[in-house]
Structure 1
Amino acid sequence: MPSNDARNLLRIAVPTAAAGVIAVAVSAAVAGGKGALGAAVGTALAVVFMGAGLLVLQWTAKSLPQLFQAMGLMLYMAQLLLLLIFVAVFKDTSLFDAKTFALSLVVATVVWMAAQARAHMKAKIFYVDPDSAKSEKAEKTGPKP
């Protein structure tokens, strides 16, 4: 993974993990041990799903740039559907508190997406590749004389 990608992943994962720690603490105070476990599982699930999606999207941008936008839209739709399926599957579980699980999953997902948007806006991405302008000769675009 290039250093810029790793830096972006760090800028996205740290706020999400911080929100997860807060969610675990609040859930432990409100719903006890099962609430804290539910919040931890929800946060971990969001980080794993969204992190895997980011890695897939970065791979797509490098190897198949023509499919980047379509892949991004499909990937976010698939992630949200899978998270909805997890909430539906674990809604009646007795392993942890389902409400804190669902709430922390939603909070972690929203924080991840907001941090990802902020990291993208702060990234210094070239609109024009400066190396390609030097290596290629300028072609005349007007009519031939």
Structure 2
Amino acid sequence: MQANDARLLRGSAIPTAAVAIVAMIVGTVIAGTKGLIGAAFASVVVLAFFSLGQIAIGKITNGNPFMIMNMAMLTYLLQVGGVAILLFAFADATWFDTKVFALTILAATLVWIAAQVRVFSQLKIAYVEPDGKR
């Protein structure tokens, strides 16, 4: 994993984890233990899906930087599809609050994406080959 990939992962995961903690507190206040479980489960899902996706993009594009946009779009599509499948699979679950679960996924996903955009805009990534190859 390159230094930029690690900064991007860390810069996205930390704010998302902070939102997850807030969501678990709010979920507990609103829906009790089921709200806490729903928020915690949703937080783990978002952090796992997006972290694994970021690691995969970093590993795949490390050898072939021209594939970054294709792999980023494919990875994002798979992540959103996976979250949608989870939402449908657990729509009738009774062991956690499904509304807290869905709202936590939404909030954590939006924070992850916003943090990723912020960190990426601050990275100083060269637009040309540093060694001068063409």
* TM norm. shorter chain > 0.5: yes
Counterpart Cα distance in 1 of 2:15 and 2:42: 15
Identity %: 36
Change (3 A) 1:77 1:119: same
Q: TM-score, normalised by structure 1?
A: 0.86
- Structure 1 unaligned blocks of 5 or more: 137-145
Q: 2:118, 2:58 → 1: CA distance?
A: 17
TM score, norm. by length of structure 2: 0.92
Equivalent residue, structure 2, for 1:59 = 59
| Whole-angstrom CA distance in 1 between matches of 2:129 and 2:96 | 51
Q: Deviations over 1:20-78 (max 9, x none)?
A: 11111111111111101100100110000000000111112112323221111111111
Which protein shows a greater Rg?
A: 1
Query: What letter corresponds to residue 42 of structure 1 in structure 2?
Result: A
Corresponding position of 1:140: none
Any runs of at least 4 consecutive aligned residues in structure 1 with deviations exceeding 6 A, and if so which? none
What residue is the counterpart of 2:124 in the other structure? 124
Give me the whole-angstrom Cα distance separating, in 2, the residues matched to 1:10 and 1:65.
21
Kindly tell me the number of residue pairs found equivalent between the two proteins: 134
Q: CA RMSD in A?
A: 1.6
Q: What's the counterpart of residue 15 of structure 1? A: 15
